[in-house]
Chains A and B, each alone.
Chain A
Amino acid sequence: MEILDNLALGVSVAFTIENLMYCALGVTIGMLIGVIPGVGHLAAISMLLPLTYYVPATTALVMLAGIYYGAQYGGSTAAILLNLPGTPSSSVVCLDGYPMTKQGRAGVALFMTTIASFVGSFITVIVLAAFAPPLADFAIAFNSADYFSMMLLGLVAAAILVQGNPAKGLAAVVFGLLLGIVGTDVSTGIQRYTFGLTFLYDGLNIVAIAMGIFGVTEVVANVGKVVQVKNDQKITFRSLLPTRRDLKESIFPMLRGTGIGTGIGVLPGTGTSIGSFIAYAVEKKVSKNPEKFGKGAIEGITAPESANNAAAQSAFIPTLTLGIPGDAVMALMLGALLIHGITPGPNVISDNPDLFWGLVISFLIGNVMLLILNIPMVGLWVRLLKIPYPILYPSIILFIVIGVYSINYSDMDIMLVALFGAIGCLFLLLGFEPAPLLLGFILGPMMEENFRRAMLLSRGDLMVFLERPVSATFFAMIAALVVWSIYSAIRKKRVAVAKEF
């Protein structure tokens, strides 16, 4: 009955006043920024990062995680009502959510997406609780060659799945790896690509890069585009109620979406958007009448919503068990762990059971809170959409720069935000995806270290990657991915899974 003890431990951690408060704060902020188009959860997390220095590690993670999955709930609101995705992952919800609004079924759509989000999250949290501890036990036996091949698989998957053009996706990864080189080389102590600038000796600040390339670029792309829409539609409580048919048609799509989201979320570097796109594509394929998609099909909103919430939760599996962050948000979570002296890796769960189980229980509490925040208070969130963007975006930029400044009190970090904002726009212009770059930056130094260690141990024999069964499996998967992408590029039948940023 070890699991009961663990859950009891989690309950005792999660139900302290402090953790409940920060959980509520996190999910409310997440919901808020999710609802408002053009404000990403990264900006919110950066803004609240200074707060995490003042609270224990578990509390910090509870709050940051709340922002992350809270935003997944909120994202669909603007997508349904205004045809504007609140978060990138909810852009697929626009396809059928907005037609439902035009048919006067906005209330039903909002209600069903909330339920779908809840189902997706809840099931995945249980998966996390069930599979993370054994996976961590398994990963303790990993050596550096296994780690290297696993991270390589993550990078290749991110490069190939995120972008229509595999060569450009891999190039984006290489850009990230190159940025990761900047700073002092851990094995030899030599300064690489620092050009004598002292602030580069510790490497580039990940928050500054993430804020510039995602936050600032997002704002630039939205200025002048996000128009304030007069939204006269009243969402009454009664209009929320779905028909029996809506419910019946949603059950299996939600479960399929959850499965897809969980599987995709575990892969590093894929984020939540891809899960929802694939879930939509799958629903369209299995549906008996695919022609109703795009015209207000309920499966078209519930499956992707379940998928992106499931992905947001299952992203914690590699982060907490292997110490490998799947995206920028997860990297910031690992940063919060490091601040508190906890080294990310397979030992986190066994060394800090209170952290892991407290987090699991807090996810469940947070999802119930979001359900309460969503259904009775839907009118309030809808009203938020009336805040004009010209007021919002200077505020977002300000909070981004103060958040980045607060990490090291360095004005050079703010300069980096400006620089990476411009680089992000160049990427947008030339059609590179920013997510693989960031992943390359995060994983690069870890990969170099593990590769070096593996080469030292094997005396420079590259076959070591194929001799170990774990590593060989990862390499087989990499090979399959590459072959598949080349094959589909030649056949030209490839459907882009994610649309351009």
Chain B
Amino acid sequence: MHRIINRDFLAGLLCLVIAALVLLQAYAYDMGTLRNMGPGYLPRFLGISLAGLGAITMVFSAKTATAFPVLNYRALVCITVGIIAFALLMRPAGLFLATIALVYICGLSERRFRPVKLGALALALCVMSYLIFILGLNMPIRLFPWSF
């Protein structure tokens, strides 16, 4: 059983799942005819194609599959959370705090946490982005929570 569930098998499965979700929603749109295509024509066609491709990938997966690559999950989580934190902080709190949050959270992807080094980096980046984007390009970005 374990040998069946390989990289390409899961890839094909992903195609099938997404195809199902796409088709489910596609029936809400009018299909039209080939001569006068409705908004639902392409989604239906693509959903069915994706399901077909997924099935082909799964069927041949035992022959084609390669080993999973090593992925740094810690970095993935830290960087994703860091970007989300930046997105949430940018508007209410301004560039300064958002940058500090981003740099510290991204910095957690390293095994060793170096608060002083990261702080210095965050400050330097704040100054740099202030100079480039706010002073240089006049972009309407809030810098501190109390700015404009």
B123 CB contacts on chain A under 8 angstroms: none
Give chain B interface residues in 39-71, CB to chain A under 8 Å.
39, 42-43, 46-47, 49-50, 53-54, 56-57, 60, 64, 66, 68-69, 71
* Chain A window 411-423, contacts with chain B (Cβ cutoff 8 Å), 1 for yes, 0 for no: 1101101100110
SS class of chain B's interface: helix, strand, loop or mixed? helix
Q: For the complex, is B87 an interface residue (Cβ under 8 Å from A)? A: yes
User: A415 CA to B49 CA in the complex, in Å?
Assistant: 29
User: A399 CA to B132 CA in the complex, in Å?
Assistant: 11
CB distance from A208 to the nearest CB of B (A): 11
A390 touches B35 (CB 8 A): no
A397 touches B82 (CB 8 A): yes
User: A382 CA to B80 CA in the complex, in Å?
Assistant: 31
* Chain A window 190-224, contacts with chain B (Cβ cutoff 8 Å), 1 for yes, 0 for no: 10110000000000000000000000100111011
A394 touches B103 (CB 8 A): yes
A192 touches B39 (CB 8 A): yes
B125 touches A394 (CB 8 A): yes
B86 touches A455 (CB 8 A): no
Name the residue on B nearest A405 (C-beta).
B90
A216 touches B83 (CB 8 A): yes
Interface size on A, residues (CB 8 A): 64
User: A459 CA to B33 CA in the complex, in Å?
Assistant: 10
CB distance from B100 to the nearest CB of A (A): 10
CB distance from A448 to the nearest CB of B (A): 5
A165 CB contacts on chain B under 8 angstroms: 8, 57, 64
A460 touches B34 (CB 8 A): yes
* Chain A window 23-53, contacts with chain B (Cβ cutoff 8 Å), 1 for yes, 0 for no: 0000000000000000000000000001100
Name the residue on A nearest B133 (C-beta).
A402
The stretch of A85-93, A245-253, A299-307, A424-432 in contact with B is A424-432
B143 CB contacts on chain A under 8 angstroms: none
User: A216 CA to B83 CA in the complex, in Å?
Assistant: 10
A429 touches B90 (CB 8 A): no
Q: A170-B53, A401-B86, A418-B84 are in contact. Are A185 and B39 (CB under 8 A)?
A: yes
Name the residue on B nearest A390 (C-beta).
B110
B88 CB contacts on chain A under 8 angstroms: 411
Q: For the complex, is A500 an interface residue (Cβ under 8 Å from B)? A: yes
Q: A415's contact among B56, B87, B111, by CB below 8 Å, is which?
A: B87
CB distance from B96 to the nearest CB of A (A): 12
Q: A390-B110, A448-B42, A456-B35 are in contact. Are A219 and B79 (CB under 8 A)?
A: yes
B71 touches A174 (CB 8 A): no
B80 touches A192 (CB 8 A): no
User: A188 CA to B54 CA in the complex, in Å?
Assistant: 30
Give chain A interface residues in 219-260, CB to chain B under 8 Å.
219-221, 223-225
Give chain B interface residues in 81-99, CB to chain A under 8 Å.
82-84, 86-88, 90-91, 95, 99
Q: B49's contact among A174, A391, A402, A414, by CB below 8 Å, is which?
A: A174
B72 touches A411 (CB 8 A): no
CB distance from B133 to the nearest CB of A (A): 6
Q: For the complex, is A177 an interface residue (Cβ under 8 Å from B)? A: yes
User: A168 CA to B30 CA in the complex, in Å?
Assistant: 29
User: A412 CA to B33 CA in the complex, in Å?
Assistant: 36
Q: A192-B39, A398-B102, A411-B88 are in contact. Are A455 and B34 (CB under 8 A)?
A: yes
Q: A185-B39, A397-B83, A462-B34 are in contact. Are A429 and B133 (CB under 8 A)?
A: no
A175 touches B18 (CB 8 A): yes
B121 touches A394 (CB 8 A): yes
Name the residue on A nearest B75 (C-beta).
A223
A54 touches B137 (CB 8 A): yes
* Chain B window 19-48, contacts with chain A (Cβ cutoff 8 Å), 1 for yes, 0 for no: 000100100011001111111001100110
User: A452 CA to B121 CA in the complex, in Å?
Assistant: 52
Q: For the complex, is A6 an interface residue (Cβ under 8 Å from B)? A: no
B35 touches A398 (CB 8 A): no
A216 CB contacts on chain B under 8 angstroms: 79-80, 83
Q: For the complex, is A381 an interface residue (Cβ under 8 Å from B)? A: no
A431 touches B80 (CB 8 A): no
Name the residue on A nearest B37 (C-beta).
A452
B106 touches A394 (CB 8 A): yes
B79 touches A421 (CB 8 A): yes
Q: B46's contact among A164, A174, A188, A432, by CB below 8 Å, is which?
A: A174
A395 touches B72 (CB 8 A): no
User: A421 CA to B86 CA in the complex, in Å?
Assistant: 15
Q: For the complex, is A338 an interface residue (Cβ under 8 Å from B)? A: no
17 A-B contact pairs sorted by A residue (CB < 8 Å): A185-B39, A192-B29, A193-B25, A216-B83, A397-B79, A397-B83, A402-B141, A406-B139, A412-B87, A418-B80, A418-B87, A426-B14, A431-B7, A431-B8, A432-B11, A451-B37, A459-B35
The 3 tightest CB contacts between A and B, nearest first, are A460-B35, A414-B87, A223-B75
